[in-house]
């Protein structure tokens, strides 16, 4: 055997099995009505993506929110379309129509299970605000949710640093086994309800929502001011 052939054989791998992946895919699930989606949503999703090293953030617009009457929200098709427009341009952002296509109220546990099946082996995180976390123990099957996903909680605007360890509402039971990660995110004091009120009063949403979202909502008159019709004024003589 020549010296060169012996050296090549010595460097040859002992096994032909494919290498094992060093890390699992990390995915955050970000649910909400997104009526409308705004820059606060986008900034929070991007902050979580960077801070947690996520591979993807899935925006999941709620179909029929279990805590709201249907008439209180824009039609799910509009909220889904606006969320898709808002998420455009960030390759890590995805939008799922899962809850919008589901009949009846949308429950997070069903969504978590569906995404776990669609992404076997992925490390799931559930992104929410501190105010939402305060109600988490009252959700459907919270114990099953925390077994499947880590809770990622964003600080509320204006909250003191010590408030980041906020506990669930008084009287709410604790959820055993919950893994909670608190984000060190900056507070952006903007909410969908405040934006709807602003639009209803005829004021602009520019620089508060992506331009494509503003154009869509205006084109479909989702938040048009509901002013009572008044009789036409008489012509001047």
Tell me whether residue 50 is in a domain: yes
pLDDT number for residue 172? 47
Tell me whether residue 224 is in a domain: no
pLDDT number for residue 227? 38
CATH number at residue 184: 3.40.50.620
Does the pLDDT at position 214 exceed 50?
yes
pLDDT number for residue 170? 43
Domain that holds residue 99: 23-159+170-219
pLDDT in tens, 159-169: 544 445 555 44
Tell me whether residue 60 is in a domain: yes
Does the pLDDT at position 79 exceed 70?
yes
Tell me whether residue 79 is in a domain: yes
pLDDT number for residue 32? 94
Tell me whether residue 18 is in a domain: no
Share of the chain above pLDDT 70, in %: 74
Taking a C-beta distance cutoff of 8 angstroms, is the pair 212, 85 a contact? yes
Structure tokens at 72: 């209180």
- Measured CA to CA, the distance from residue 230 to residue 228 in angstroms comes to 6
Full DSSP string of the chain = --HHHHHHHHHS-S--SPPPPSS--EEEEEEE--SS--HHHHHHHHHHHHHHT-SEEEEEE-SS-TTS-GGGS--HHHHHHHHHHHHTT-TTEEE--TTTTSSS---HHHHHHHHHHHSTT-EEEEEEEHHHHTTGGGSSSHHHHHHHEEEEEEPPTT--GGGGGPPPPTTPPP-TT--EEE--PPP----HHHHHHHHHTT---BTTB-HHHHHHHHHTTTT---PPP-PPPPPP-
Q: Does residue 162 sit in helix, strand or coil?
A: helix
Strand 93-95 vs strand 123-129: parallel, antiparallel, or unpaired? unpaired
Beta partners for residue 182, in sequence order: 153
pLDDT in tens, 103-145: 888 899 999 999 999 999 999 999 999 988 999 999 999 999 9
Share of the chain above pLDDT 90, in %: 62
Tell me whether residue 5 is in a domain: no
User: Is the pLDDT higher at 237 or at 9?
Assistant: 9
Taking a C-beta distance cutoff of 8 angstroms, is the pair 43, 69 a contact? no
Q: Which helix (H) or strand (E) holds 42?
A: helix 39-52
Structure tokens at 108: 């997070």
Taking a C-beta distance cutoff of 8 angstroms, is the pair 49, 28 a contact? yes
pLDDT number for residue 17? 42
pLDDT number for residue 91? 97
pLDDT number for residue 177? 75
Count of domains in the chain? 1
Tell me whether residue 62 is in a domain: yes
Tell me whether residue 122 is in a domain: yes
Does the pLDDT at position 83 exceed 50?
yes
pLDDT in tens, 12-47: 444 344 333 446 899 999 999 999 999 999 999 999
Instruction: Work out the number of other CB atoms within 10 angstroms of the CB of residue 8.
Output: 9
pLDDT number for residue 186? 84
pLDDT number for residue 131? 87
Does the pLDDT at position 158 exceed 50?
yes
């Amino acid at each position: 055997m020549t010296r060169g052939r012996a050296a090549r054989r010595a460097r040859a791998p002992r096994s032909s099995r494919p290498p094992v992946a060093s890390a699992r895919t990390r995915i955050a699930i970000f649910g909400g009505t997104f009526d409308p989606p705004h820059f606060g949503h986008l900034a929070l999703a991007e902050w979580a993506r960077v801070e947690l090293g996520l591979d993807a953030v899935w925006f999941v617009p709620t179909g029929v929110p279990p805590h709201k009457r249907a008439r209180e929200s824009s039609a799910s098709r509009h909220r889904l379309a606006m969320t898709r427009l808002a998420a455009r341009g960030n390759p890590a952002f995805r939008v799922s129509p899962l809850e919008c296509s589901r009949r009846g109220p949308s429950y997070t546990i069903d969504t978590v299970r569906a995404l776990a099946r669609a992404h076997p082996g992925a490390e799931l995180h559930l992104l929410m605000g501190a105010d939402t976390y305060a109600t988490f123990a009252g959700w459907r099957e919270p114990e099953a949710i925390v077994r499947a996903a880590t809770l990622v909680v964003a600080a509320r605007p204006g909250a003191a640093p010590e408030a980041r360890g906020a506990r669930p509402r008084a009287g709410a039971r604790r959820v055993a086994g919950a893994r909670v990660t608190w984000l060190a995110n900056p507070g952006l004091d903007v909410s969908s309800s405040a934006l709807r009120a602003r639009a209803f009063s005829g004021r602009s949403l520019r620089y508060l929502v992506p331009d494509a979202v503003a154009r869509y909502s205006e084109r479909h008159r989702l938040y048009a001011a509901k002013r009572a019709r008044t009789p036409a004024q008489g012509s001047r003589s």
